[in-house]
Amino acid sequence: MCNSGLFRTKRDMSEPASLIRSLDDLRRYVHRELCARENLLAEQFTMTEMPLVRKSRSCGIQFSLQGPRSVRLGAIWASDHNTIYFYDARGERYRKVQLQQRLLPDRQRAAA
């Protein structure tokens, strides 16, 4: 079987969730975890994000990663619970991570 360079041969150790202190840390963590789920090389696949809004207030971020062969992975950071929910290619939740340090969505950070 040929390895085209799109897949990881072994799982890298990613930073623990306890080290997430900013939205940029959150983005890096989610990207690495989604890639690790399907053994993808993080450098080969980009992640998109969309702010989640409830009653005109930012309440989190939805992350999506499009892999090869129509593989789509996702994660949602719910800012009110400060929790990340990870979803596999079937749309099933496979992991829930409670962050220790509270992060503020971009709009709330700008107002603070």
Tell me: the pLDDT tens digits for 30-74? 999 999 999 999 999 999 999 999 999 999 999 999 988 888 999
The predicted pLDDT at position 70 comes to: 84
Average pLDDT, the chain: 83
User: Where does 1-112 show beta strands of DSSP type E?
Assistant: 47-54, 57-66, 72-78, 83-87, 93-98
Residue whose token pair is 């005109």? 56
Overall pTM surpassing 0.85 (yes/no): no
Cα of first residue to Cα of last residue in the chain, in angstroms, is 53
